[in-house]
Amino acid sequence: MPGDPAREYAAKEHALSFRDVTKTYVRSHLGRTSRFRGIEHLDLDLRPGEIFGLLGLNGSGKTTTIKLALGLLAPTSGSVSIFGHPAGSRSALALMGYLPELPYFYPYLTPREILTFYGRLSGMPHKELEAKTSRSLEKTGIERHTDRRMSDFSKGMLQRVGMAQALLHEPRLLLLDEPVSGLDPLAVAEFRALFSRLNQEGTSLLLSSHSISEVERLCHRAGILVEGRLVKIFEQKDWSKEPGLLETLFVDMIRQNGAE
């Protein structure tokens, strides 16, 4: 309930908090207006130090959820907060790192130049920028390609650079949209190990993915979005009994909610 002190206090404790968030897209064309619900009455709390997986079919609202957290979209109703700060505020953005699906980088730049640019935008002092850039590149395994142009990079390498820029300012919360999409198995394993390591260091992660197996291996909890509604949140104990159980639970939930 808005204004409820207990819930307000609780919101500050959460890495990411959605309070009855609805997002309606309004499209106007030739005088006709149509409305489309992207997200409906979303209530979700991400605990600090948690890895939360967001599962859903295409168009279920996963990317909308992430963009609401980043402040790239404004909720039609409800509120979103990051460690108690309103989503989109400078304080909130300073605490978050974001890896978009299919990151695009300026082709004429090198990874070092890209990270330097984004580091400056994050307000990092010049003295620590170089050290953190090198560290970020090492963490993501592209230190050998530091001075190559992005136009020469494969998809996997682009994804690594995307990860590097997300980690650059050592965020407390990482928002990852399809982080292992299109990666080879070795890269997937490396990313998985990186996420685990980050989580052990205290970073919270929100992972949006079609790869149920990755969510199964990494996440503490998983939420299922169906047509903009968060229909169910599973705990790790719900699917850890046997491999592949999360996929079964996911499919069942989709069918129950009539998404197909």
90 binds other proteins (CB under 8 A): yes
Question: Residue 51 or 99: which CB sits closer to other proteins?
Answer: 99
Q: With respect to other proteins, which residue has the nearer C-beta, 150 or 180?
A: 150
Q: Does 151 bind other proteins (CB under 8 A)?
A: no
Determine the residue type at 233. I
SS3 for 212? helix
In the complex, the smallest distance separating the C-beta of residue 162 from other proteins, rounded to whole angstroms, is 8
The DSSP secondary-structure symbol of 248 reads: H
- Angstrom CA distances, 122 to 23, 38, 165, 169, stand at 28, 29, 10, 7
Task: Please state, in angstroms and rounded to a whole number, the distance separating the CA atoms of residues 100 and 13.
Answer: 26
Residues near 4 by beta carbon (within 8 Å), at least 6 away in sequence: none
Separation between Cα atoms, residue 201 and residue 196, nearest integer Å: 9
Contacts to other proteins from residues 92-111, by CB under 8 A: 93-94, 96, 98, 100, 102-106, 108
182 binds other proteins (CB under 8 A): no
- Tell me whether residue 102 or residue 193 sits nearer to other proteins (CB atom): 102
**Spatial distance between the Cα atoms of 99 and 161, rounded to a whole number of angstroms:** 10
224 scored as a contact of other proteins (CB under 8 A): no
**Residue 127 sits in the site that holds other proteins (CB under 8 A):** no
Please report whether residue 71 would count as binding other proteins according to CB under 8 A. yes
Question: What is the closest distance, in whole angstroms, from the C-beta atom of residue 44 to other proteins in the complex?
Answer: 19
**Amino acid identity for residue 194 in this structure:** L
Laid out side by side, the sheet with 16-29 consists of: 32-46, 16-29, 77-82, 85-86
- Note the residues at the interface with other proteins (CB under 8 A): 25-28, 67, 70-74, 90-91, 93-94, 96, 98, 100, 102-106, 108, 117-118, 120-123, 165, 169
